[in-house]
A and B are shown apart, each in its own frame.
Chain A
């Protein structure tokens, strides 16, 4: 056997060395077809999803044929457009948004303070972790009766519950993000002798940005839900009504297409904020930095 291996040419394969071709492989880079490029566009794909959902809605509503329970998509759009033209929806949205932004901003600010304290000291971190595990599961709307006693019937109460809705979600995520900042980045920051403020703004915040952004998104969604729910409860007594009030009022008048138009406005706003604001921020930051695929 060994002898055959040694002198038998059959088992020894010839070596080879070849020149690398520099041209003439055909295509190295070829532009995608128009269809492939269109399908690569996330906005377009999502628009198709929306159109499909609208189609299903329309067909089902026509088949159900009960406008009092479930108006068609076209009737809802009509109600929406007339609400826009009459300014009622715009007024209601504006009123909701101003309250929402106030609550959101204050919630973010308090969350920032809490997290700063929690990152600086161990007891601060214990306090924040205990508070978030106590209050994060507590639905904001459950605090509304209490808030009405404390702050009366008005924006004060709504802002209070909004802060509660935003604060814990944002603080929880930001704190988790800070804790997850890579030890190597921390050492790099310490190595170059950064001051405490520079260390937080130049290392911790960008390093924790994916989590912070997630917290802000969740906080935004919680705030919206809480606001609409609070306005529904509040509606009757609050003078200037927001979208929740708009929905409630139209339900009382059995104007169901308008109820749907109110809901549609909430949905449209959610889609716009998610896809225009948060997506843009994401694209310019964490996606560009390779911290998210």
Chain B
């Protein structure tokens, strides 16, 4: 199947995002367009200040674009909803007053998706998937950072959303744990082929996780390139390994901006 024949699950068209701080009106992204297909591991990659997290929040519905539109299954997004579940970078995204199991269950019952009993079963199923069955009744503050992120991923996946939005979920982890988590995420994807939109500032992470990589330039974020990834660092069409190719695209911009 060619890409053009498959209708996109998520379509972002000409999206400009602005937000207001106390002193400034900041343009986070400028006319960004891209399509995410079903079962994509779509990575948005860019340096700090390229508006990638803001873009993800807009897909989550926490922020409305000032220009352009974001559509999920051809329906425009205006507000947050359980069809787009977000996994954050912060470890405090778990509710500390609920156990691991209750955190996952809460998401399912609070959204009215499932009844109590089904929610329990579904929660345990996904907790098992992230290998935390032994910790189902632990409270979040007793877990390590990596375990907390695994619970957050289980919580997101248990919702079985149309698309899972991940905002640098492994950025606050140590390098060893991060590598392991990336591998686990890929394994989970092999299992269920969920669609994920993944934001990161790490080139190796993008190359490892993404099957499609959107490269954003900073201040404001604009699309620099959209590349294909294969889970390993393959040689790209320009004859360079992917990571090096990405690096050059980014550095080239830096030099151009410095000269201007």
By a beta-carbon cutoff of 8 Å, the part of chain A in contact with chain B is 182, 184-185, 187-188, 190-194, 198, 202-203, 206-207, 209, 285, 288-291
Contact check, A187 vs B107: say whether CB atoms are below 8 A apart.
no
- Please, what's the 1-or-0 string for B102-142, where 1 marks a CB less than 8 Å from any CB in chain A? 00001100111000000000000000000000000001111
Contact check, B86 vs A187: say whether CB atoms are below 8 A apart.
yes
Interface of A is mostly: helix
Contact check, B97 vs A193: say whether CB atoms are below 8 A apart.
no
15 A-B residue contacts at CB 8 Å? A184-B92, A187-B86, A188-B88, A191-B80, A191-B84, A192-B106, A192-B159, A193-B111, A206-B95, A209-B97, A285-B97, A288-B139, A290-B96, A291-B97, A291-B141
Given contacts A206-B95, A285-B97, A290-B96, contact A191 B139 (CB under 8 A): no
B88, B112, B140: the one within 8 Å of A290 (CB): B140
Q: Which A residues are in CB contact (< 8 Å) with B93?
A: 184-185, 188
Given contacts A193-B80, A289-B97, contact A182 B92 (CB under 8 A): yes
- Tell me, in angstroms, the Cα distance from A182 to B112 when the chains sit together: 24
Q: Which A residues are in CB contact (< 8 Å) with B90?
A: 182, 184
A191, A207, A288: the one within 8 Å of B85 (CB): A191
- Tell me, in angstroms, the Cα distance from A184 to B62 when the chains sit together: 12
Q: How far does the Cβ of A183 sit from chain B's closest Cβ, in whole Å?
A: 9
- Tell me, in angstroms, the Cα distance from A203 to B97 when the chains sit together: 10
Residue B60 interfacial (CB < 8 Å): yes
Residue B236 interfacial (CB < 8 Å): no
Given contacts A288-B139, A290-B142, contact A192 B107 (CB under 8 A): yes
Residue B82 interfacial (CB < 8 Å): yes
Q: Which A residues are in CB contact (< 8 Å) with B111?
A: 192-194
Contact check, A289 vs B62: say whether CB atoms are below 8 A apart.
no
Contact check, A191 vs B110: say whether CB atoms are below 8 A apart.
no
Q: How far does the Cβ of A212 sit from chain B's closest Cβ, in whole Å?
A: 13
Q: Which A residues are in CB contact (< 8 Å) with B106?
A: 192, 202
Residue B179 interfacial (CB < 8 Å): no
Q: Which B residues are in CB contact (< 8 Å) with A194?
A: 110-111
Residue of A with least CB distance to B112: A193
- Tell me, in angstroms, the Cα distance from A288 to B90 when the chains sit together: 21
Contact check, B60 vs A191: say whether CB atoms are below 8 A apart.
yes
Q: Which A residues are in CB contact (< 8 Å) with B85?
A: 191-192
Given contacts A194-B110, A198-B110, contact A185 B80 (CB under 8 A): no
- Please, what's the 1-or-0 string for B5-19, where 1 marks a CB less than 8 Å from any CB in chain A? 000000000000000
Residue B81 interfacial (CB < 8 Å): yes
Q: Which B residues are in CB contact (< 8 Å) with A289?
A: 96-97, 139, 141
Apart from A188-B86, A191-B85, A202-B110, 12 more pairs, CB < 8 Å: A184-B90, A184-B93, A185-B95, A187-B80, A191-B80, A191-B81, A191-B84, A192-B110, A192-B111, A193-B111, A290-B139, A290-B140
Q: How far does the Cβ of B254 sit from chain A's closest Cβ, in whole Å?
A: 31
- Tell me, in angstroms, the Cα distance from A198 to B81 when the chains sit together: 15
- Please, what's the 1-or-0 string for B45-89, where 1 marks a CB less than 8 Å from any CB in chain A? 000000000000000101000000000000000001110111010
Given contacts A193-B111, A198-B110, contact A188 B95 (CB under 8 A): yes
- Tell me, in angstroms, the Cα distance from A188 to B93 when the chains sit together: 7
Q: Which A residues are in CB contact (< 8 Å) with B80?
A: 187, 190-191, 193
